[in-house]
């Protein structure tokens, strides 16, 4: 189980299929969580030759995606694309950026921590499929002006992610995130 110490999570439920949708829109609790500060300067590690190292590189890239996604919108909007391109490629890159803009326009901020509980990683050359049972129970959406919580996430949120290894630098990046629903 890997802990992704993030202080940002989720976007409006209407953006189903975006990078951070459904992490917090499923329940109405109001518990506030103290934000933590992940290392956003460290991009995903390049893959190495052994299967175990390859899996670790995919997991690291996936965790880095959530850390970066969940904090980038605190920065000036003109820096978002460069920050997200370090951890994501299209179509997820564009989906995430669009969702961040929509959230900002709606006056929503997010709070809390998310815990990745990676269930499986399947690697096929320069592609990987990852299954996660993410714990978003200490996260939620809040009013950007007042900070008052509006939602709280769920403890068992199924997430499926596709990652691609960049042929120029060997780093894994998230290409697509899906929320298949159900339980895990």
Give the chain's radius of gyration (CA, Å). 15
Gap between the Cα atoms of 100 and 70, Å rounded:
9
Q: What is the mean pLDDT of the chain?
A: 78
- Please report, for residues 83, 102, 110, 182, the alpha-carbon distance to residue 36 in angstroms, rounded to integers and kept in the order given: 19, 24, 13, 29
pLDDT digits (tens, 9 = 90+) for 52-89: 999 999 999 999 999 898 888 789 999 999 999 999 99
% residues pLDDT > 70 (the chain): 73
pTM, rounded to two decimals: 0.75
Across residues 167-182, what is the average pLDDT? 96
Gap between the Cα atoms of 38 and 47, Å rounded:
21
The yes-or-no verdict on residue 34 having pLDDT over 50 is: no
Does residue 31 come out as left (phi exceeding 0), alpha (psi in the -120 to 50 range) or beta? beta
Lowest mean pLDDT among 27-31, 75-79, 90-94: 27-31
């Amino acid at each position: 189980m890997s802990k992704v110490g993030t202080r940002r999570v989720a976007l409006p439920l209407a953006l189903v299929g975006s990078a951070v949708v459904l992490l917090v829109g499923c329940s109405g609790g109001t518990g506030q969580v103290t934000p933590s500060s992940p290392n956003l300067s460290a991009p995903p590690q390049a893959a190495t030759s052994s299967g175990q190292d390859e899996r670790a590189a995919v997991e690291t890239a996936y965790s880095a995606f959530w850390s970066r996604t969940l904090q980038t919108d605190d920065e000036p909007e003109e820096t978002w694309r460069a920050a997200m391109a370090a951890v994501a490629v299209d179509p997820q890159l564009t989906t995430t950026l669009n969702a961040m803009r929509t959230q900002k326009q709606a006056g929503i901020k997010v709070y809390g921590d998310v815990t990745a509980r990676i269930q499986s990683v399947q690697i096929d050359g320069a592609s990987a499929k990852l299954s996660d049972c993410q714990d978003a129970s200490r996260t939620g959406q809040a009013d950007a002006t007042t900070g008052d919580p509006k939602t709280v996430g769920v403890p068992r949120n199924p997430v499926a992610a596709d990652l691609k290894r960049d042929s120029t630098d060997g780093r894994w990046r998230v290409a697509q995130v899906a929320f298949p629903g159900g339980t895990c």
